[in-house]
Amino acid sequence: MISVALDLMGGDKAPTEILEGAKLSSLSDCKLYLIGTKDALDEIEGYEKIEVDDYLPMDVKPTEILRRKNSSMYVGLKLLKDSVVDAFVSAGNTGALLAGATFVLGRIDSVERPALAVPVPSTNGFTILIDAGANVHVRAEHLLDFAAMGLSFIRVLGRDSPRVGLLNVGEEESKGDETTKEAYQLLKENFAEYFIGNVEGHDINLGKADVVVADGFSGNVAMKTMEGTAKMILQTLKSQVEGAGLFQKLGALLMKKVFSSLKKTLDPRTYGGGFILGVNGVVVKAHGSSDRFAINNALQVAYRGVQMKLVESIRGEIERVRNRGVGG
């Protein structure tokens, strides 16, 4: 049986929505550990409960997790480190979770910078965006590692011949700063069979690449822009239907299934969260604004990560790249 620890105290809507997300979980062969304060755990039945007396607020400095070792986030990572659980899920502060995962779990050999990999909707179903916010400043070698980890992720999700693109300000090889230009050459040399060159922001949702590699600043801006655009589209459709005439409303009623499918595709809650890749354990970062629906999906993401042996797959891909003598 797979076991997953959930940080009840992480996120804008903690602990109520986080707990409700756990209650929605239908994973029959998954054991849930709930980590929270005494008040949050009171009257909860049917789960393994881990009581703590501290938690990290959303605006905390990332390094605070290293000092506050009785916080719900640190305790969850320690449970994963000690093999009490197989995965850990938190909607808490991204920087703190990254710092904690790196410090407590340790990095995979030869990985200097763990990264946040998030599936975003595209015409292919989804595209993996990595890094989506963990590393603001990177070197070209880091972007090469991100590509290797993204390739491992997309393969275990069933894409046998994935395409990798480098997020840039233009498609031409000469575009970008020195870091992206150097990264372009490293990707071309090491992933010639997969690398399709530079891609622009609008290419992500169009499915031009299966894995889009970026520094954390650019990746996070791209992700948040996509989320905002999706919300705008859904809100505009809703307001237009509400203000329409009778015949338009009848037409909208006939299109209800289509609109429901569109809403599900564009809703970031559907994807639950992203993996912090490059550390020795399955760690899922749920969106800070996650509600019960998003948390339920984040638990499923963590479960699949364990099932897919994601960490082992990444170790193999990183070793393959390093054996070619690049990025050491």
pLDDT of residue 98: 94
pLDDT of residue 327: 46
Find, among 232, 284, 220, the residue nearest to 87 by Cα: 284
Per-residue pLDDT of 170-189, as tens digits, reads 999 999 999 999 999 999 99
Find, among 3, 12, 21, 1, the residue nearest to 296 by Cα: 21
Average pLDDT of the chain, as a whole number = 89
Which pLDDT band, with edges at 50, 70 and 90, does 285 fall under?
very high
Instruction: Mention every residue, 6+ apart, whose C-beta is less than 8 A from residue 290.
Output: 11, 12, 13, 17, 18, 21, 91, 269, 273, 298
Per-residue pLDDT of 118-153, as tens digits, reads 988 888 888 999 999 889 999 999 999 999 999 988
Per-residue pLDDT of 255-279, as tens digits, reads 667 556 655 655 656 666 789 999 9
CATH number for the domain spanning 30: value is 3.40.718.10
Answer yes or no: do 102 and 176 share one domain.
no
The two three-digit tokens of residue 5, written as one number: 């620890």
What percent of the chain is modeled with pLDDT above 90? 66
pLDDT of residue 73: 98
pLDDT of residue 51: 97
Which pLDDT band, with edges at 50, 70 and 90, does 227 fall under?
confident
> What average pLDDT score do residues 235-246 get?
79
pLDDT of residue 308: 87
Alpha-carbon span 104 to 75, nearest angstrom: 10
Answer yes or no: do 145 and 242 share one domain.
yes
Answer yes or no: do 85 and 182 share one domain.
no
Answer yes or no: do 262 and 147 share one domain.
yes
What are the φ/ψ torsions at residue 29 (nearest 5 degrees)?
Answer: -105, 35
Answer yes or no: do 244 and 282 share one domain.
no
What are the beta bridge partners of residue 285? 90, 274
Looking at the domain assignment, is residue 322 inside a domain? no
Per-residue pLDDT of 190-223, as tens digits, reads 999 999 999 999 999 999 999 999 999 999 999 8
pLDDT of residue 231: 81
Alpha-carbon span 63 to 154, nearest angstrom: 31
Find, among 29, 37, 36, the residue nearest to 6 by Cα: 36
**Helix, strand, coil in percent for the chain, rounding step 5:** 45, 20, 35
Looking at the domain assignment, is residue 29 inside a domain? yes
Based on the structure, what is the number of domains in the chain? Answer: 2
Q: Hey, is 169 helix, strand or coil?
A: coil
Q: Which residue has the tokens 């479960």?
A: 303
What are the φ/ψ torsions at residue 324 (nearest 5 degrees)?
Answer: -90, 0
> What average pLDDT score do residues 86-113 get?
94
Task: Give the CA dihedral 216, 219, 222, 225, nearest 10 degrees.
Answer: -50
Give residue 166's Cα distance to chain centre: 18
Are residues 277 and 153 in contact, defined by beta-carbon separation less than 8 angstroms? yes
Instruction: Mention every residue, 6+ apart, whose C-beta is less than 8 A from residue 324.
Output: 190
Per-residue pLDDT of 13-45, as tens digits, reads 999 999 999 999 988 889 999 999 999 999 898
Q: Output the pTM of the full model.
A: 0.86
Answer yes or no: do 172 and 254 share one domain.
yes
Is the pLDDT higher at 320 or at 153?
153
Which pLDDT band, with edges at 50, 70 and 90, does 157 fall under?
confident
How many other CB atoms sit within 10 Å of the CB of residue 255? 14
Residue 22 domain boundaries: 1-111+278-311
Looking at the domain assignment, is residue 321 inside a domain? no
Positive or negative torsion for Cα 155, 158, 164, 165: negative
Give residue 161's Cα distance to chain centre: 22
pLDDT of residue 125: 84
